[in-house]
Structure 1
């Protein structure tokens, strides 16, 4: 193939994908964006609030920027079939505005306590200011004046719209690319946001499963890792890997991308069997919770004959996924399970699969088949 043909192939790919993306953009006033929210014509997914948190000072700085006429970065939305706009990027900007105005609702539909502003370098008199003091309509106590409220409502924000005619990949790719990088979201927080956007029912189901008492006892995570949604990531790994074709494990190009793609597939799969997966999950962690508790996935020191440290992915991938794969016929006693887990730490197949220089891409093709083989009644 000559160079010209390669260029033609690239151009064909560019042309095809550009045809699959339909977009538009408007410059909208904040007043219009407030009306859209009040009329439920824009969805900001309050569930996302746990993934992207601004302090009250950061929120105040946004309001300060609007008052000072500093341009606000554009907002990206995706238009659903029913015409509703899903916010893809701009969650905190919009939710801050809605919280300050006093109309923001949480994921349970309850109104959030309105934002009280703080002192800033350029506008120190913002201290304790609220949107409107209804007992004192002139704003003489703590509320902004009518003039100041109009200043905010008339301020413009550019809105980029991914239209409903776009290919389904476009919304996912836009969301991923806008929310990757820096400290904005770790890979699992990003997957959670995609789940909420694609299949809120599945997301709520996963969150409910992740709260299982036995599961939480077995993984025994710190408050920090729980806040970062690591328990949900571990659960998602269980769902993705429990029945995966072993041949596919050696073809994973990038682990984070692989799990994100697989979670998206599950979210879009109308035939995903929640009851079957729940049964496998609950049986697996009932056994481990009763028999091992927080020793389930900790390192076992063969010399000292004791478990120590925190949760480790490698034993999880062999033990939990081995039991989960065989859960229907797995009826070992607690003594058998404990001995098997202790023995695995002396198994050269297991110990050679992880360690210095071994990442998940190299580890999974060894540990998943090993766990399926070892945890058979």
Structure 2
């Protein structure tokens, strides 16, 4: 549940966190952060010119209510300084917002006429006014407001940038790992994840519950599929130290045109679609959900089932699976009801290497045996 609304996705308990390799300590010489002052007019121009990126498609912006937005604008009009912002600068001179995304999005939305002020505390006379309807002195006051920005310079390694983000994330509702990853990644990986998460076969397989997911569970599910699909051997997973490290590395791999061509990305997208189509063929409305024998309740989406069954099923043509469907369903439901090791592998500490191997091996064995016998 998030803000009173069900997310449609199972919580993954982390009873025994996987920490296969110790975190590498930061090298202070690698960290480069400078402090600069910008006027809001300057920052808004940077946004409009594409020099400052506000992480497009970031769903969490919607959690700011009208009252929060209006009080932020009122603070600026009252000349109350805002807390410092963090930007990350790339080698091309482009900036990305690391901390302060919702505040800048709100100011940009207001200046563009996106909402009118409401529930103000002191400037009652400005209630129900848009930016264009404010008196010129107030518009100038907002434009001329100065903000302090700590800029993470391009020489700082990506891994350190991620860790800095996690440390300085100050939002009222802390960002989860996928939301941080989205803000820090480049357009190439974001576009691929969006394309996969927008595919109709994905919505069909997941019953539509992940469509434009407010906590980006849709993008995370896609990324988990891609991470394990592109992992040459499950044994290599151990070397990453955590699932988050694997997902971070996969994101960076997708963003690296030098390593991964557009043709590679097309083949990955095709595999993702194939996995989703096959899951729908086999499990119907119960795809990627717990469906133990003797229980027909439709459970929430389980990400461990999605990554494992999705990847394993992507290796097959739909025609290969049609005749094997009854046996696959029966064996999968039996495993979810009676195989305690498998039940644990899809329930808790799902990042643990042993549990990752168990859920992939069970899915692979079930499919191989069923297809062979058909």
TM-score band (shorter)? 0.7 to 0.9
Question: Which position in structure 2 is the counterpart of 1:310?
Answer: 300
RMSD, matched Cα: 3.0
Question: Whose relative contact order is higher, 1 or 2, with alpha carbons under 8 Å and at least 6 apart?
Answer: 2
SS of aligned partner of 2:131: coil
Structure 1 residues 33 and 289, CA gap change in structure 2 (3 angstroms): same
**Match for residue 8 of structure 2?**
none
Contact 1:27 1:158 in 2 (8 A): yes
Report the Cα distance in structure 1 between the residues aligned to 2:52 and 2:304, rounded to whole angstroms: 42
Residue 29 of structure 1 corresponds to: 39
Query: Where does residue 375 of structure 1 map in the other structure?
Result: 367
Aligned-pair CA distance for 1:358: 3.6
Q: Secondary structure at the match of 1:345?
A: helix
Q: Matched residues in 2 for 1:101 and 1:236: separation?
A: 35
Alpha-carbon contact 1:21-1:170 (below 8 Å) kept: yes
Report the TM-score, using the length of structure 2 for normalisation: 0.78
Asked whether 1:248 is paired with 2:258, we answer: no
Provide Cα deviations, 1:156-209, integer angstroms capped at 9, x if missing partner: 2101112233334343333343337762322222222233xx2x1231122112
Question: Deviations along 1:100-154, whole A, 9 cap, x unmatched?
Answer: 222xxxxxxxxxx43311132222223112222xxxxxxxxxx222222222223
> After the TM superposition, which residues 157-172 of structure 1 pair with which residues of structure 2 at under 5 Å, given as runs?
157-172=147-162
**In the alignment, which of 319, 341, 353 is matched to residue 329 of structure 2?**
341
C-alpha change, 1:251 and 1:180, in structure 2 (3 Å) is farther
Distance (Å, rounded) in 1 between the aligned partners of 2:49 and 2:257: 31
Length, aligned pairs only: 337
Q: 1:81 aligns with which of 82, 91, 94?
A: 91
> Structure 2 CA distance, aligned partners of 1:282 and 1:274?
12
What displacement does 1:230 show? 1.8
Runs of 4 or more, structure 1, over 6 Å off, are none
**Which residue in 2 is equivalent to 1:320?**
310
Q: For 2:243 and 2:227, how far apart are their aligned partners in 1? A: 12
Structure 2 counterpart SS, 1:227: coil
Alignment CA distance shift 1:344-1:116 (3 Å) = same
Alignment partner, residue 276 of structure 1: 267
5+ long unaligned stretches in structure 2: 1-24
1:314 Cα offset (Å): 4.2
Structure 2 counterpart SS, 1:69: coil
Shift of 1:254: 3.6
Contact 2:312/2:364 (8 A) holds in 1: yes
Rg (Cα) greater in structure: 1
Aligned to 1:294, which of 285, 302, 310? 285
Is this contact kept in 2: 1:30–1:157, CA < 8 A?
yes
Residue 254 (structure 2) aligns with: 266
1:233 to 205, 210, 220: 220
Displacement of 1:239 after TM fit?
0.6
Q: TM (normalized to structure 1)? A: 0.78
Superposition pairs of residues 63-74 of structure 1, within 5 angstroms: 63-74=73-84
- Asked if 1:154 is matched to 2:141, the reply is no
Any unmatched runs of 5+ in structure 1? 1-12, 103-112, 133-142
Partner of 1:105: none
